[in-house]
Each structure stands twice: as structure tokens, then as C-alpha cells.
Amino acid sequence: MEKIRVMLVEDHVLVREGTRELLDREKDLEVVAEAGDGEEAIRLAAIHRPDVIIMDMAMPRLNGIEATREIKATHPGAAVLVLTAYDDDQYVFAFLEAGAAGYLLKDVSTQDLIRAIRAVHSGESILHPTVARKVVDYFSRKARGVPAERTAETLTAREMEVLRLAAKGMTNREIADRLHISVRTVQVHLSNIFSKLEVGSRTEAVLYALRKGWLTLEDTC
């Protein structure tokens, strides 16, 4: 079984070591690197190329938002899962604009964190429903008045259809049932979408489409 390669970015050593100990118990997860600040995170991400990066917000030298932006610029396939004590809208939006795939608070259970790691690795979006609605409203407002760019040369009609259903929060199984195709085919379409848009998750793909005017607020309802 190919393991999910995880990097921990957290300035509190005790928290970082405790998280690693919990993740190391899972047969499908492997912690390949640990960073105590944003600059170290950027350096280690380039060396270890993790699949999932668990990112804190407040850290010395460079905060999590800036570190996420730098890492996604050079390693777009990495899924950044934010794990922080901050739930302010400004931080949520800034992290997602920087390319984060999910946003969790530090009061989550161990099992919720493990499920989230597996989910973002498979391209799923991990946002609390309330946070998700705020995010969609925010990026939809930003896109208003911006002329929609052509998608024909970027995504196929079927890929756009899959993305539109993903924007509604539908699972791969639900999308497959709606389009009368296999779950594997849905996964292939999503993988192609991520590759073409140079993103690593549904969250990034949907936000990208909202910014471009390919999707509207109504498409997410």
C-alpha cells in the first residue's frame, strides 16, 4: 500500500511530536518531515515533496499563509490542510486564496484529523459547512462583474459538469450516480481538472472557477 506522505508545520514542539505520534499509528500515513516555522516548511517541502501538509497559522519567521502561498507556487500538487486555533474570516479567506485545500480548528478529534488528511489527499474539500458558505459567498462577490473566461480550451464539457457538481458538495459516488458513470471515471475527471488548473483539491478547483466566472453562486447551491 502506497502511503500518504505528510509534513507537519507547527512551531510548538510538543504539539508537533504528539501529532506525529498519532499519525504514525496509521498504516497508510507516513510523516516525512517536520517544520517549526514557515521558512523551514518551504525548504523541507521542496526536499520531501509531501502529499499533504498540515499547516499552522502563527509561526516565527514566516506565517502559515505566506508559507502556503510559496509552497503552492512551486509544489501545486501538495494539499495543504490548515490546523489552527484561528477561525477569523480574514485568516480563512487568506489561506484559501493562498491555495489551502482544507481548514480545521485545533479542537478536532484525532479521527477527524486523520479522515481529513485522507480526504484532502483524494481531492475532497474539508471545510465546516458554515465556513464553506462564507467562502463561496466571498469568492462569488469577488467574481461579480468579472467577465467569464472561456473554458473550452481548459476543461472539457464533461469536466466542467463534474466540477459544477463538485461545487455543490456532492461526493464522488453522488456525482457518478448523477452522470451515470463509474466512481473511477469521476476520479479521473477530477484528476484531469486538478492537473489542468494546477491545483491539488476540489476546494482550489472550485475557487479557481468562481474567480474566473466559470461558476456562479447558484452553481454551488
Report residue 97 as a C-alpha cell.
Answer: 486564496
pLDDT at position 64 is 96
Which residues does the chain have with pLDDT short of 50? 152
Report residue 23 as a C-alpha cell.
Answer: 499519525
Task: Report angle CA 68, 103, 183 to the nearest 5 degrees.
Answer: 100
Shared-domain flag, residues 104 and 147: no
Shared-domain flag, residues 104 and 199: no
Q: How many Å apart are CA 162 and CA 52, to the nearest integer?
A: 23
The number of domains in the chain is 2
pLDDT at position 59 is 92
The last residue of one of the domains, among 63, 94, 121, is: 121
pLDDT at position 152 is 46
Residue 163 lies in a domain: yes
The domain in which residue 191 lies consists of 135-220
Residue 172 lies in a domain: yes
The last residue of one of the domains, among 121, 145, 174, is: 121
Shared-domain flag, residues 111 and 139: no
Shared-domain flag, residues 152 and 84: no
Shared-domain flag, residues 89 and 157: no
Shared-domain flag, residues 94 and 35: yes
H helices of the chain, in order, are: 13-23, 38-48, 64-74, 89-98, 110-121, 129-143, 157-167, 172-179, 183-197, 202-212
pLDDT at position 87 is 80
Residue 79 phi/psi, 5-degree rounding, is -100, 120
Residue 129 lies in a domain: no
